[in-house]
A and B are shown apart, each in its own frame.
Chain A
Amino acid sequence: MKERALTCIVCPRGCPLTVTLGEGGEVLSVTGNACKRGVEYATTECTAPRRTVTTTVRCECGGVISVKTASTVPKEKIFEVMAHINRTVAPKSSKIGDVIIEDVAETGVAVVVTANRANR
């Protein structure tokens, strides 16, 4: 058995978590969490960590507009996700929720616009 200390990133409370791992790296128990999302986070974090990526994308109008991955992507693919987004251009009339990439960097996750106007 092994113990691993984590900081939960699900909400601003940032609970200090202690995870007990079995021989095969499986999660045996999670303590320190204030809610059940902490257990979920600790389990993914110890097996296959995932993150939401937020960034900007070039817009046809010449400015930039903010975007995010519609859900989390594997942590080790963050820079591939960034590279894909940076090769993309958003249409002029982009609005919150518009999908600009359906499957970013083969993660199966979409990239959506998070603002109603581009900045230039």
Chain B
Amino acid sequence: MELINNINCELVIIGGGPAGMAAAVAAYDAGLRDILILEREGALGGILRQCIHNGFGLHRFGEELTGPEYAARYEDMVREREIPFMLNTMVIELSEKRVITAMNSERGIFTVSAGAVILAMGCRERPKGALGIAGTRPAGIFTAGTAQKFVNMNGYMPGREVVILGSGDIGLIMARRMTLEGARVHAVCELMSYSGGLARNIEQCLNDFDIPLLLSHTVVEIHGRERVEGVTIAEVDESRRPIPETKRYIPCDTLLLSCGLIPENELTKMAGIELDRVTSGAVVNGDRETDIPGVFACGNVLHVHDLVDYVSEEAKIAGEAAVRFIRGEAEKNAGIKLTVDGRVRYTVPQRIEAVADTKVYFRVSDVYRDKKIVVRDGERVIISKRKQKLAPGEMESVTLTKEMIENAGESLSFSIE
């Protein structure tokens, strides 16, 4: 039998990671049946499959799970509901008319015309090329996530003597992981004066193993021809320029990079969807709907989350909203814009409509102690919430009531004071 290569489907979800699976389950539970998940890898679960450490699910399931266990909970939900999914399937194009072009070895190239689309493609790591480190380009330089895949999924150790640049959570987790498997992690260098990772990870991944965290330090040169032989590190000044007198050589065979995550929005750009320059994800409303009606986004493709529990929460919003769109039940009104002062770097959603109470997520641009999160409607303060500590690595949220949004003028402004 020949496979039909022009499929029609009410809801197509691009990506079968935690966001895609949670969106699919939410859409199914809202009554929709014609759903299709397209997944690039050979299994559902996304990046959680290689995140074998624990700490996932405390909010969502009330217990501490490892990444594969959290993913399996959602995969079970998808399978119980018999929601269709295609694995090893790469989406290569998304049009503004919600037509998806994809390919796999079974069907070749095929198209899917979708009633609604949910973007759930996740994010990728900032690569070596984007960091501009001087020196040679030998083997032995990996992003932390690549090393994580080698160790946890392929069972290979990428090196024995390790330096890590960047103190994002994956870098911290990999410092511990490499140590447990017998490698020596000499240092974790962080360009900023604070770590981008969670405090608990600095404690249990670095301090537990006496791995030094060198704040305001960077790698200024990589040495070695065939394989990394060492790196030169240096302290940086307030404008993040290396201080030459502080240069120091560390012999090592491996350099891991944990220097930030970038939402993977090639398809989003192709469809002409407006992106937020700060988040690198789509600009969305409270439903997580982009500026193309019927195209939604959730999870790390929208903005980088620190907890998968919040990804699931956001995906549920998008999944349920997509069903309302398909049924023509979506409530619409002019809506208002949310603006930020720079100390608050961004908000998601970026615009909201007065249809329900809405939780707004945001990140701050620096470490602030004993400050207030203030939301203003014009000059009038409508929310003021004191926080002991705010840090860029930790996502914050406030809930705006329907009344606040209804009564607002053109915009609501978010600031740290």
Contacts and interface: CB of A to CB of B under 8 A. Distances in A.
Contacts of B52: 54-56, 66, 68, 114-115
A111 to B, nearest CB: 12
A52 interface: yes
B239 interface: no
B180 A14 contact: no
A55 B180 contact: yes
A12 B55 contact: yes
Contact of B72 (A10, A16, A52, A116): A116
Given A55-B180, A63-B155, 8 more contacts: A11-B200, A64-B153, A68-B66, A75-B208, A78-B180, A82-B181, A96-B68, A114-B66
Given A66-B66, A116-B72, A56 B200 contact: no
B155 A96 contact: no
B199 interface: yes
A64 B180 contact: no
Contacts of A79: 180
A108 B319 CA distance: 44
Interface of A: 6-12, 14, 16, 51-56, 58, 63-64, 66, 68, 75, 78-79, 82, 96, 114-117, 119-120
Contacts of B199: 7, 14, 16
B68 A114 contact: yes
Nearest to A8: B200
Interface of B: 43, 49, 52-55, 58, 64-66, 68-69, 72, 75, 151-155, 177, 180-181, 198-200, 202-204, 208, 306-307
B200 A9 contact: yes
Contacts of A114: 52, 65-66, 68-69
B226 to A, nearest CB: 28
Contact of B155 (A9, A56, A115): A56
B85 to A, nearest CB: 15
B153 A119 contact: yes
A85 B180 CA distance: 11
Contacts of B66: 54, 66, 68, 114
A49 B6 CA distance: 59
A96 B69 CA distance: 7
A12 B68 contact: no
Nearest to A52: B54
B61 to A, nearest CB: 13
Contacts of A6: 203
B200 A12 contact: yes
Nearest to A67: B52
A87 to B, nearest CB: 14
A115 B64 CA distance: 15
A80 to B, nearest CB: 12
A14 B65 CA distance: 17
26 contacts: A7-B200, A9-B200, A9-B203, A9-B204, A11-B200, A12-B306, A14-B200, A52-B54, A56-B155, A63-B155, A64-B153, A66-B66, A66-B68, A68-B52, A68-B54, A68-B66, A78-B180, A82-B180, A96-B68, A114-B65, A115-B49, A115-B68, A115-B69, A119-B49, A119-B152, A120-B154
